[in-house]
Amino acid sequence: MSVTKTLFGKVNDEEVYLYTIMNKSGASVALQTLGAGVHAINVPDRDGKLADVVLGFDNPADYINPDYGYQGLSVGRWANRIRDGKFIFEGTEYTTPQNQGTWTLHGGGRFSFTNWEVAETGENFVTFSRFSPDGEDGFPANMTMKIKYTFTEDNILRIEYTVLADRNTVANPTNHTYFNLSGVDGETVEDHSLQILADYFTETDASQLATGELGAVKGTMMDFTTLHKIGDRINEPFRACLGDVGYDNNYCLRNQSGDFALAAVLQHEGSGRKLEVFTDLPGIQLYCGGWLKRDYTVGKGTNLVTYRRGVALETQFYPDALNIPAFPLWTVKANEAFKTVTEFRFSVI
């Protein structure tokens, strides 16, 4: 195992670096200081051929354009949506940036669009760190978030989040990597097969904000309880999907215990690549890039970052859990480390 540091470029006069972890078989993960993000994941197909299976950009400045979909970036303090950009926590109302209409998306974007410090590196891991002062983007407490990425000889990418705050607060970190296991430029993810271990999803209104109700997946286009192709029903009209966006929905995982367990399986029959997602969190957002541009948006090399070119599987607390008491939520206690773990396990079928 080895870790190599290279200069990626500059954004807002700050140098952005890539840290590439490579195992003995040649598989690798490239991580970037900008947004503590995943820049590339090169893993083998059934014939042993390596290819990059995540979307991204050659120009680091493209990562800070919110219209380009938070490609590979870490999200904090609070992933997904907050209705009306406000919430009440321990009796006090807090106001967050309304960066998407009248609501907050991904905490306002600051964690994703800034450079992180590198706190530690080892032969197979990199740990990023960011301090967020009390009141930044409206959230309470001085808080430090650390994200440790570990890549193994078995092609497992482990992401460990640790949050430490000086008083009680909230946190809902996630990673916004878009996967395309084909490793081929131009292919959509509609021919990828997906399974999500969930029987319910969070219902949403016309603005795609959580209503507090849960919907059963059985008998609907939302049903991924058994492995089938994403494209089978993605274009069906459904109350929880807007227009031709397709899937952009939170699934309520069967595992609600806080234990580490399998959440989803994604595979591509053509290449034979398979991805298993494990987490200790109660939800996972399925997003197939339906809000991305349909026209030419250059990515890495000749690979485009466009409509339905990648699928994000974002482990999380439910959207707007800060405003919906019935939704599961773990409070970050003062001076006690809050931790959560997600793994992306790559193999072949």
Catalytic residue among 106, 187, 192, 314: 314
Residue-wise pLDDT tens digits, 29-49? 999 999 999 999 999 999 999
Residue-wise pLDDT tens digits, 16-28? 999 999 999 999 9
| 296 — pLDDT class (breaks 50, 70, 90) | low
Catalytic residue among 39, 106, 176, 192: 176
CATH topology of domain 2-348: Beta-galactosidase; Chain A, domain 5 (2.70.98)
Residue in 310, 320, 95 with CA at minimum distance from that of residue 207: 320
Q: What distance, in Å, lies between the first and last C-alpha atoms of the chain?
A: 25
User: CA 87 to CA 28: how far, in whole Å?
Assistant: 40
176 part of the active site:
yes
pTM: 0.98
* pLDDT score, position 294: 86
109 pLDDT more than 70: yes
314 part of the active site:
yes
